[in-house]
Structure 1
Amino acid sequence: MLVLRRKVGESIILGGVISISVLAVEGERVKIGISAPPEVTIVREELLRSGQDQHQQPAANASTVTNAPSVQRS
């Protein structure tokens, strides 16, 4: 497992197309934003562990995410 430290407003890029940004830190909770192409499924790990079908909880698309930083692609 790769472990990184990021500050609020900083991001990491996965595979050149997925951006994970730290939006806020509130006590022991971290709010992250994920920007990914629509064909990438995003599921919280606890839903998978609980046996929840990942298709029953669709990931938010760009039109439902607010205050998410944009990712510039070259």
Structure 2
Amino acid sequence: MLVLTRKTNEAITIGEDIEITILSIHGDQVKIGINAPKKIDIHRKEVFIAIKEENHEAVKTVSLDSLKNFIRKS
């Protein structure tokens, strides 16, 4: 893990396409802005985990027979 110290209005870049800017700091909360291409999904970690869990559950509910039927109809 890379650890950086930044002040308000300072930024970091990730690759050539992503820039993260510190917008404000109030107590223990930091407001950040993220500029990234639209093709990159950006989620809070708890939302990302919930999406992964939901996708995992959805895969478990699909039967092999229903998948075969879907492929035949396509």
Q: Give unpaired runs (5+ residues) of structure 2.
A: 53-74
| CA distance, structure 2, for counterparts of residue 12 and residue 33 of structure 1 | 11
| CA distance, structure 2, for counterparts of residue 48 and residue 14 of structure 1 | 20
Task: Report how many residues are paired.
Answer: 52
Aligned to 1:21: 21
With structure 1 as the length reference, what TM-score do the two structures score? 0.66
With structure 2 as the length reference, what TM-score do the two structures score? 0.66
Higher relative CO (Cα under 8 Å, sequence separation at least 6) belongs to 1
Question: What secondary structure is seen at the aligned counterpart in 1 of 2:41?
Answer: coil
1:36 has 2:47 as partner: no
Q: Please, what is the CA RMSD of the aligned residues?
A: 1.1
Please identify the structure whose Cα radius of gyration is greater. Answer: 2
